[in-house]
């Protein structure tokens, strides 16, 4: 028995080792990973040797297939793009129009599905169409038609796109039920059927045929029920159901379906934005503004990150702007206005390029292939859009600077207003030292304390009687009026007022006229020249500069804000008059 088991063990090991050392076929490599899900990088333990083997043997059809599978199982979209380029290279080396067309579709799908870059995506699809025109591969023909239909649908040519999708649905549905096909083929055809069905729903919705929308949506939900391999497609049908519920004013139900959709559509940020938008609009209809705004902001986050927005979602920024306008939040209002201008620029840019590309280049290829020429895009549209973008940026910058200046003026006005209301509008240097605090050993000045006190008393009378409003007043003239000399007067003002004579005089005059403007409305109607003369200042410019230096605000800005304040007060007072009937 021992010998028997030993022989069995030797034979088993020999079989295993001989199997390991033998070269694997391309088919065996594919069998090693065909059951993995999309983006599952474990598949590369088989794909990498598959690629190496095909390169070594220069088997370009197999190398094309290996790179095609690498795109499917890569997790990074950057790597998918690299593998797509390698797939295209292998396709050209294989000299097969079918493979070249397939590779172009593959690369175009990466641009469309992840990056939403319609220009390069459409370029790839047009190349795919060129190489597929003579193919006998109906799957490939319908795949190209599907992707061209998606772009037409995005541009708003819904009837043309609908015809393409009807053909795709008919073909993919038939092929998905073909039990003789490989399971990969069945999977791809089922996916093609479900995605074509979803695009038909979008077309019918844009054409306002809601009966068809509901009918096809129910079919899609039924076909994807309890099908984990098609969870993303189910997410699209849940989105369609949510939009229908919103249209029927069933807002709670709409939120439920759209939230389920968000959980399933993974990285498709374009349709996620649509989900967020109608969740937000549903909350608005339910009077829950906070949750609505929260969802609208998520759309802006996607836009800021991806630099992409669907035209349907432009309203999102109008809602946000009006929301913050109602809250008097100028900062947020300005931000979302800027975002809207950027969104408009992107939408205009896409339409300026894509519309002529689809309706000229593709249709020319389909109807006038013998000419073999493509009409050039109108470069002037790009120049015009660039000019508009520059002009918009300049206007926004100008408006922003003006807004910032006005806000600063308003803050300074309120600060000054508070001081005037609280009777705190005085000079900090206006405190006169008491006799006990005076330094009696003041030999430097050679002014007796009694003279100082007498001068301070006279200055007090001078201030109280508003004698500083005299025109052409100089220190010499004031010294004569106060029965002293200019040196004594200058010294006392410097020491006890904390400033020289000119500043002292200007400070008195500006504070005097400021109080008059605040307390007596009649002065608000005076010209700046009249106000300057009223307080004894000869020059309009000197008056304005002094006013700004002391108050931090120009007299014109003070008068304007004071008038506005009084107008608002009068308006509110009218609302409290007995017998005044509200229009409401």
The CATH number of residue 547's host domain is 1.10.10.60
Residue 173 sits at the vertex; the CA angle it makes with 167 and 176, to the nearest 5 degrees, is 135
How many structural domains does the chain have?
3
pLDDT of residue 322: 92
CATH number at residue 281: 1.25.40.10
Specify the pLDDT at position 373: 33
Are 269 and 303 in contact, with CB atoms under 8 Å apart?
Answer: no
The answer to whether the CB of 289 falls within 8 A of the CB of 311 is: no
For residues 414 and 421, what is the distance between their CA atoms, to the nearest angstrom?
Answer: 10
105 within domain boundaries: no
Same-domain pairing of 397 and 445: no
In whole angstroms, give the CA distance from residue 516 to residue 418. Answer: 15
Q: Quote the pLDDT of residue 565.
A: 86
Q: Please, are residues 337 and 314 in contact by the beta-carbon 8 Å criterion?
A: no
237 part of a folded domain: yes
**Based on the domain organization, do 532 and 485 belong to the same domain?**
yes
Residue with tokens 């220069």: 58
Q: What is the predicted pLDDT for the residue at 324?
A: 93
Alpha-carbon distance of 532 to 539, in angstroms, equals 7
pLDDT of residue 2: 55
Residues 445 and 547 grouped into a single domain: yes
Residues 293, 319, single domain; the answer is no
Check if the beta carbon of residue 221 is closer than 8 Å to that of residue 234: yes
> Is residue 54 domain-resident?
no
- Helix spans in 22-132 (H): 26-33, 44-57, 60-73, 77-94, 97-110, 118-132
Task: Judge if 570 and 435 occupy the same domain.
Answer: yes
Q: How many CA atoms lie within 13 A of 497 on its CB side?
A: 23
Domain contains 526: yes
Tell me which DSSP letter residue 326 carries: H
Give the whole-angstrom CA distance, residue 368 versus residue 136.
Answer: 21
Domain of 344? Answer: 309-405
Residue 164 tokens, joined: 């393409």
What DSSP string describes 377-431? Answer: P-HHHHHHHHHHHHHHHHHHHHHHHHHHHHHHHHHHHHHHHHHHHTT----GGGP
Q: Where among 290, 306, 322 does a domain terminate? A: 306
Structure tokens given for 232:
């993303």
Same-domain status, 466 and 388 = no
CA dist 260 and 388 (Å) reads 41
How many Cα atoms are found within 13 Å in the side-chain-facing hemisphere of 91? Answer: 22
At which of 306, 322, 344 does a domain end?
306
Question: Does residue 549 belong to any structural domain of this protein?
Answer: yes
**What is the per-residue pLDDT for 573?**
60
Residue in 58, 16, 49 with CA at minimum distance from that of residue 30: 49
- Give the Cα separation of 191 and 187 in Å (integer): 6
**Per-residue pLDDT at 18:** 43
Are 327 and 396 part of one and the same domain? yes
Cβ 175 vs Cβ 189: under 8 Å: yes
Whether residues 463 and 351 share a domain: the answer is no
Residue 173 lies in a domain: no
Query: Is 319:299 a contact under the CB 8 Å cutoff?
Result: no
522 with 441, same domain: the answer is yes
Residue labelled with tokens 């005044």: 580
Same domain, 373 and 506: no
- C-alpha to C-alpha distances, 405 to 399, 417, 544, nearest whole angstrom: 10, 18, 18
Q: Which residues of the chain have pLDDT under 70?
A: 1-23, 114-116, 349-385, 427-446, 571-584
Residue 184 lies in a domain: no
Return the closest-CA partner of residue 409 out of 566, 523, 560, 569.
560
Inside any domain, residue 131:
no
User: Could you tell me which residues come within 8 angstroms of residue 22 by beta carbon, excluding any fewer than 6 positions away?
Assistant: none
Threshold 0.85, pTM exceeds: no
pLDDT given at position 473 = 92
Instruction: Write the CA distances from 350 to 127, 161, 510, integer angstroms.
Output: 19, 18, 59
Is the domain of 318 the same as that of 281?
A: no
Nearest to 396 by CA among 335, 476, 447: 335
Taking a C-beta distance cutoff of 8 angstroms, is the pair 258, 239 a contact? yes
Q: Are residues 267 and 334 in the same domain?
A: no
Secondary structure tally for the chain: helices H, strands E:
26, 0
């Amino acid at each position: 028995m021992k010998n028997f088991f030993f022989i069995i063990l030797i034979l088993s090991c020999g079989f295993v080792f001989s199997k390991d050392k033998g070269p694997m076929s391309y088919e065996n490599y594919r069998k090693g990973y065909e059951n993995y899900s999309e983006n599952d990088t474990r598949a590369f333990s088989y794909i990498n040797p598959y690629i190496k083997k095909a390169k070594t043997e220069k088997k370009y059809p197999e190398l094309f297939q290996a790179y095609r599978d690498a795109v499917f199982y890569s997790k990074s979209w950057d790597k998918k793009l690299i593998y797509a380029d390698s797939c295209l290279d292998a396709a050209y080396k294989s000299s097969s129009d079918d493979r070249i067309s397939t590779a172009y579709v593959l690369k175009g799908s990466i641009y469309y599905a992840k990056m939403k870059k319609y220009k390069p995506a459409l370029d790839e699809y047009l190349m795919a169409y060129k190489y597929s025109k003579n193919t006998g591969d109906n799957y490939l023909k319908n795949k190209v038609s599907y992707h061209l239909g998606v772009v037409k649908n995005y541009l708003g040519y819904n009837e043309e796109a609908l015809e393409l999708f009807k053909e795709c649905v008919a073909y993919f549905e038939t092929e998905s039920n073909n039990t003789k096909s490989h399971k990969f083929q069945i999977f791809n055809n089922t996916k093609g059927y479900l995605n074509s069905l979803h695009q038909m729903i979008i077309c019918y919705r844009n054409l306002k045929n809601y009966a068809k929308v509901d009918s096809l949506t129910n079919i899609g939900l039924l076909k994807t029920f309890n099908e984990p391999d098609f969870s993303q497609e189910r997410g699209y049908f849940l989105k369609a159901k949510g939009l229908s519920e919103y249209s029927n004013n069933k807002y709670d139900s709409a939120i439920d379906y759209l939230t389920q959709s968000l959980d399933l559509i993974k990285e498709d940020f374009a349709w996620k934005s649509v989900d967020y938008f109608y969740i937000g609009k549903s909350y608005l209809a339910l009077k829950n503004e906070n949750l609505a705004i929260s969802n609208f902001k998520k759309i802006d986050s996607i836009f800021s990150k991806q630099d992409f927005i669907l035209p349907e979602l432009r309203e999102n920024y109008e809602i946000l702007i009006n929301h913050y306008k109602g809250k008097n939040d100028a900062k947020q209002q300005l931000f979302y206005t800027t975002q809207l201008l950027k969104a408009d620029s992107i939408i205009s840019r896409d339409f300026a390029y894509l519309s002529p590309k689809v309706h000229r280049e593709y249709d020319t290829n389909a109807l006038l292939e013998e000419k073999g020429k493509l009409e050039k895009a109108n470069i002037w549209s790009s120049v015009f859009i660039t000019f508009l973008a520059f002009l918009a940026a300049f206007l926004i910058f100008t408006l922003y600077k003006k807004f910032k200046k006005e806000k600063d003026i308003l803050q300074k006005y309120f600060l000054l207003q508070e001081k005037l209301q609280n009777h705190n509008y005085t000079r900090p240097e206006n405190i006169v030292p008491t006799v006990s605090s005076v330094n009696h050993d003041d030999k430097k000045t050679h002014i007796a304390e009694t003279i100082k006190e007498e001068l301070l008393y006279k200055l007090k009378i001078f201030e109280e009687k508003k004698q500083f409003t005299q025109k052409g007043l100089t220190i010499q003239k004031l010294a004569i009026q106060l029965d002293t000399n200019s040196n004594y007067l200058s010294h006392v003002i410097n020491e006890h007022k904390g400033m020289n004579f000119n500043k002292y005089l200007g400070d008195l005059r500006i504070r005097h006229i400021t109080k008059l403007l605040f307390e007596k409305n009649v002065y608000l109607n005076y010209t700046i020249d009249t106000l300057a003369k009223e307080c004894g200042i000869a020059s309009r410019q000197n008056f304005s500069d002094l006013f700004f230096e002391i108050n931090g605000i120009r007299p014109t800005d003070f008068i304007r804000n004071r008038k506005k304040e009084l107008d608002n007060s009068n308006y509110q007072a009218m609302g409290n008059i007995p017998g005044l009937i509200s229009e409401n």
